[in-house]
Structure 1
Amino acid sequence: MRYALHIQNAHFFNQRCFSVLLLTLVCLSSSGCSLGVMVGKMFFGDPLVTCEFTSRTKVDLAEDKKQVLVICSTPESIRSDYPSLNYDLLEQITYRLRRHDVEVMDTGDVATWLDDNGGVWNDVDELAENFEADYIIHVDIDDFDYREPNSPNLLRGKAFGNVSAYEVVEVDGLRRALEVFSSEYTSEYPTHLPVSIESESPKVFRKKYLDRIADQIGRFFYNYHTGEDF
């Protein structure tokens, strides 16, 4: 009897603590106090942000176990200066999607197919026909550089392009890719002042900037917590 009473009292105490905590959070939030946000994070963690792709299509690539193909493309003017850019971005974006439980096709298979086709492709339906993917993500980078114009000793990353996603469906017995998502992509890092090559080598800065681009593009397609840094 004494043990049951102890359990009942403990349960009542926990309920009161939880109620007081909720009331405190409501009061702090309604007053616009940043302390409320801090307390909320302490107990519940950073809130989860629904990615733009899921918000528009209502499809969660990770939860729905969709097989995804990632492809990157750049114009000849960029490939001549940065011949490995397509493959570097492909690997980094694929890595981040997999880290967030998105099933992505092997980058080696994609790279082999690209090599067999001269490194370029003209029609997304070609990809739908040649790969067993549910969705195709196309990252098209129109402009890329990590050197400050007219300043050989300064580094600043800039990129511009478009990110699209296609759902692969069967039409009259043929696999076709239908566009379901498209978003313009613009990046500049750092935004305020460029980095001197005396403080960071161009090679290290380029790797860091590519990682940042991959993170930004990946967030179009997987949910993330607000506290996650690029």
Structure 2
Amino acid sequence: MMRTKQQTKSRFCTHRRCCVLVLLVLVCLEASGCSLGVMAGKLFFGDPLLTCEFTKRTNVDLSEEQKKVLVICSTPESIRSDYPSLNYDLLEQITYDLKRQGIEVQDTGEVATWLDDNGGVWNDVDELAENFKVDYIIHVDIDEFDYREPNSPNLLRGKTFGTVAAYEVHEVDGIRRALSVFESDYTSEYPSHMPVSIEQESAKVFRKKYLDRIADQIGRFFYNYHSSEDIY
């Protein structure tokens, strides 16, 4: 049985009203900061893939283009005296996260061995470019790090500040050189609302969890991820 023009018009109006209502609900939920707005958005529009900052600035997708990367971390002496293993712990975890996303990364053992052979220090990224056959060098420079609340030995809260940079390696006249292609400040505070008591979680467990969090956040500068994978 064929629909009349009036029935067709009525169905169209009903459909339009439903669409407008859904959009209004989404806007209201988003404006209120409610996570339901995010959930509703995913329900109607899917889980979008977010482009990482490195790809936005360079148009290079490290996982798709099979570029080999070297990760290096550095901290001032004031931090190394309190946390002597911090550089290697971050190096290892960031490398693990990048590999998990399909990015080829220089073996951490080879990087650590080279650093040990050179007294644990390196002068500049060109020196790294000369000694490792990689396409990019990621340098994580941590200026401040702590996971203990100041003047409160029983409270834990992670705070970190530093710079994340990336260099593309080129060969010029037979000499390998590293050219800067990406740089961004990095700041972290966790948890932001209130510290954690050592009665709830030991300092050792909290430190490991916080280092994993830092590595995840830094890794996301260099690989795309879905909005549902946001770190809170």
Shorter chain as normaliser: what TM range? 0.7 to 0.9
Q: Structure 1 residue 29: deviation in Å? A: 3.5
User: 2:9 maps to which residue?
Assistant: none
Check 1:40–1:174 CA distance in 2 against 1; reply closer, same or farther (3 A cut): same
Specify every segment of 5 or more residues in structure 2 that has no aligned partner in the other structure, as ranges.
Answer: 1-14, 30-35
In 1, distance between residues paired with 2:64 and 2:23? 31
Give the number of equivalent residue pairs.
211
Matches within 5 A, 1:189-204: 189-204=190-205
- AA aligned opposite 1:28: V
Decide whether the 8 Å contact of 1:61 with 1:221 is kept in 2. yes
In 2, distance between residues paired with 1:171 and 1:93? 29
User: 2:154 maps to which residue?
Assistant: 153
Check 1:143–1:37 CA distance in 2 against 1; reply closer, same or farther (3 A cut): closer
- AA aligned opposite 2:152: S
Q: Structure 1 residue 83: deviation in Å? A: 0.6
In 2, distance between residues paired with 1:178 and 1:145? 31
Bigger mean CA deviation after superposition, 39-48 or 105-114: 39-48
What percent of counterpart residues are identical?
78
Matches within 5 A, 1:64-213: 64-213=65-214
Decide whether the 8 Å contact of 1:114 with 1:121 is kept in 2. yes
In 2, distance between residues paired with 1:132 and 1:170? 11
Superposition RMSD on alpha carbons, in Å? Answer: 2.2
Decide whether the 8 Å contact of 1:28 with 1:36 is kept in 2. no
Check 1:203–1:40 CA distance in 2 against 1; reply closer, same or farther (3 A cut): same
SS of corresponding position for 2:128: helix
Q: Structure 1 residue 26: deviation in Å? A: 7.8
In 1, distance between residues paired with 2:123 and 2:174? 21
TM-score normalised to structure 1 length? 0.85
Check 1:25–1:141 CA distance in 2 against 1; reply closer, same or farther (3 A cut): farther
User: 1:56 maps to which residue?
Assistant: 57
Q: Structure 1 residue 129: deviation in Å? A: 0.4
Spell out structure 1 runs of 4+ moving beyond 6 A. 23-27
Specify every segment of 5 or more residues in structure 1 that has no aligned partner in the other structure, as ranges.
Answer: 1-20
Decide whether the 8 Å contact of 1:167 with 1:178 is kept in 2. yes
In 2, distance between residues paired with 1:128 and 1:26? 56
In 2, distance between residues paired with 1:166 and 1:229? 26
- AA aligned opposite 2:98: L
Check 1:30–1:198 CA distance in 2 against 1; reply closer, same or farther (3 A cut): closer
